[in-house]
Chains A and B, each alone.
Chain A
Amino acid sequence: MRWGVVTFPGSNDDAQALRVVERVLGDEAIALWHKDVDLRGADCVILPGGFSYGDYLRCGAMAKFSPIMAAVVAHARRGGLVLGICNGFQILCEAGLLPGALVRNRSLSFVCDLVIARIETTATPFTASCGRGSLLTLPIKHGEGCYVADETTLAELEARDQVVFRYADAAGRVGPEANPNGSLGNIAGVCSAERNVLGLMPHPEYATERLVGGEDGLAVFRSVQSWLRDGGRSRGDEPRVQAP
C-alpha cells in the first residue's frame, strides 16, 4: 500500500514518517510537497508534526491554505484515510476536517515526554486491530496540544464515539494527573464523524522500533495496513454510539 507524507515549510517529523513507512512497514512511501496538487495514489495521507509556516498566527492556520490541502480535503471527502500527527492534528482542526482546536498547554510549558494513550474506540481504520482500553506508550512534544471544543461539540464527540485516544496513567485511569497539557476530557486524539480522518497529539511514528524506546505506535500503522488490505472490511467494532 502507498502512504503519502506531506512536507510543509517547517514540518520536521516528515522524514521519520517516511522512514517508518519504508523501513519498518515495508510499504511504499510518497513524499508530497505542500505545493503538489495531487496525492499520487496515496491510500493514506500523513500530515506530520513540526511547525508549519513557523506556527505563525495559529498552529496550522497557514498550512490549511497550501495547494496540497485541497487534494487532502477531497481525499477525505471520498472516504480516504488521513492521519494528522501533532502539527498535522492542528492543521486538520484548522481545515475543518476535525472538530475543536488545539491551544497553548495549560502549564504554558512545552512538554516533551512519554505518555500513555488509552484506546477509546476500535471503530476506526487506525485502531481496528487494537483492543479497546489498551494502553500505548508514545512520545509527545508540543507547546499547543491542549484540546478544546465547546460543550455541544464535546458531547457530540462522546456520543458518536469519536474520541479515539485519551491520556491515562499506567493503570489506564484517566484523570488530571495523567493529563500532560490540560486537554478537555484528557482527549489525545479524535476522528471525524465518518471515522476516516484521525488527529492525535502523541507521535506513533516515533514509537515503532524497540531500539529507540518502544514500538507501541506500530499498532496504529498496522491497523491501517490490515484495514486497507481487506478493503476496509475489518472495521473493528461498531462505533458505540449513544442515543441522543
Chain B
Amino acid sequence: MPGLLARVYVTPKRGILDPQGKTVEQSLHVLGFDEVSDVTVGKYIEMRLGGASREAADARVRQMCERLLANGVIEDYRVELVADRS
C-alpha cells in the first residue's frame, strides 16, 4: 500500500487576536492590494505516514493535532491526506 502524505493547516481561531494577520493585511493595503481583507497567518505542517489505512491515519493525525500540533485554546486545524507519490 502506498504511503500517505498528511498536510496540516493550523490557523488562529476566529475571534482570537491575530496581530500577524492584521499587520500583513495593513502592509498589503500599503502596497495597493486594497481588495484584501481577513488575513490570517498560520502554520503548514507536512508529514509522511507509513502503513495505516486512510481512516486510521486521519484519526492518528487528529490526535497529533489535539495533543501537540495545535493549541485548541487559540488555534483551529484542518487535515488533508493525499497519496504520497514521492
From residue A73, how far is it (CB to closest CB) to chain B in Å? 15
Contact at B19–A101, with CB atoms within 8 Å? no
For the residues of A in contact with B, the DSSP-based class is loop
Contact at B19–A106, with CB atoms within 8 Å? yes
Contact at B73–A149, with CB atoms within 8 Å? yes
Chain B residue nearest to A183 (CB atoms) is: B17
Contact at A182–B73, with CB atoms within 8 Å? no
Apart from A106-B17, A107-B19, A148-B17, list 7 A-B contacts with CB within 8 A: A57-B68, A101-B73, A101-B74, A104-B20, A146-B17, A149-B73, A150-B73
Contact at A61–B68, with CB atoms within 8 Å? yes
For the complex of A and B, the 4 pairs showing the least CB-CB separation, nearest first, are A101-B73, A101-B74, A106-B19, A108-B19
User: What are 19 A-B interface contacts by the 8 Å CB criterion?
Assistant: A61-B68, A94-B71, A99-B73, A100-B73, A101-B73, A101-B74, A103-B12, A103-B16, A103-B17, A103-B19, A104-B19, A104-B20, A105-B19, A106-B17, A108-B20, A108-B23, A146-B19, A148-B74, A182-B19
Q: Is A58 an interface residue (CB 8 A)?
A: yes
Q: Which of B34-86 contact A (CB under 8 A)?
A: 43, 68-69, 71, 73-74
Indicate with 1 or 0, residue by residue over B4-17, a CB within 8 angstroms of chain A CB atoms: 00000000100111
Q: Which of A86-104 contact B (CB under 8 A)?
A: 93-94, 99-101, 103-104
Q: Which residues of A contact B71 (CB under 8 A)?
A: 58, 61, 94, 101
CA A119 to CA B69, docked complex, whole Å: 35
Contact at B74–A103, with CB atoms within 8 Å? yes
Contact at A57–B69, with CB atoms within 8 Å? yes
Q: Which residues of B contact A150 (CB under 8 A)?
A: 15, 73
Q: Which residues of B contact A94 (CB under 8 A)?
A: 71
Q: Which residues of B contact A100 (CB under 8 A)?
A: 73
CA A201 to CA B15, docked complex, whole Å: 23
